[in-house]
């Protein structure tokens, strides 16, 4: 355990570092003002090392949770201004791995890989892929065989008994099946 003198010394070092950072930031702001440009902060995608904070769902072939996962993921991408990496929006001219866009694409790719099951990762992973290519591969996987998936899900949906579940648990389970059916183009009406 650190002594009082050691803690005091560490506090002084911290204050000194804060002062240096503050001075450097003020200098950058002054230089930017002289050039008539705003100081651009680091890319927002560098702030979140893991997507699990925003997407607590692990996408899995067996769980029928693609719609939930996709929605949470798109919200997180929107939060960081990275939706273009998966939604075929305008792509910049420089998409090299060393560019800012390339760094952000690697971030999105790592988020995707970190939020899917190992089984799904083994199916969709292709070396050298962009985030958009992996995103599309996942979408195609979950949207292929719609008719057979829809029939199987519809059967489970219609034959799910309440059993010993509470009414809220039962409704949540039916709602989950309803979302899974919507994923394959078979909406369930009230």
Q: What is the pLDDT of residues 92-126, one digit of tens each?
A: 767 677 777 888 888 889 899 989 999 988 888 88
Task: Using alpha carbons, select from 124, 83, 121, 130 the residue that is nearest to residue 103.
Answer: 130
pLDDT of residue 45: 45
The position carrying tokens 């930017």 is 32
Give the Cα-Cα-Cα angle 100, 103, 105 (nearest 5 degrees): 110
**Percent helix / strand / coil, the chain, rounded to 5:** 65, 0, 35
Put simply, whether the predicted model's pTM sits higher than 0.95 gets the answer no
Q: What is the pLDDT of residues 156-167, one digit of tens each?
A: 767 778 788 788
């Amino acid at each position: 355990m650190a002594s009082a003198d050691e803690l005091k010394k560490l506090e002084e070092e911290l204050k000194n570092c804060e002062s240096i950072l503050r001075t450097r930031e003020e200098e950058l702001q002054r230089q930017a003002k002289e050039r008539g440009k705003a100081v651009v902060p680091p890319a927002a995608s560098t702030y979140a090392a893991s997507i699990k904070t925003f997407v607590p769902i692990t996408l899995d072939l067996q769980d029928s949770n693609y719609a939930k996962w996709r929605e949470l993921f798109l919200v997180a991408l929107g939060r960081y201004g990275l939706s273009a990496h998966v939604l075929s929006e305008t792509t910049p001219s420089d998409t090299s791995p060393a560019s800012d866009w390339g760094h952000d694409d690697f971030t999105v790719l790592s988020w995707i890989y970190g939020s899917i099951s190992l089984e799904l990762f083994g199916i969709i992973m292709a070396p050298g892929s962009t985030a958009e290519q992996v995103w599309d591969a996942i979408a195609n996987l979950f949207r292929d065989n719609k008719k057979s998936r829809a029939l199987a899900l519809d059967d489970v949906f219609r034959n799910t008994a309440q059993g010993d579940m509470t009414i809220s648990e039962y409704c949540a389970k039916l709602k989950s099946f309803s979302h899974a059916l919507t994923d394959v183009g078979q909406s369930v009406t009230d």
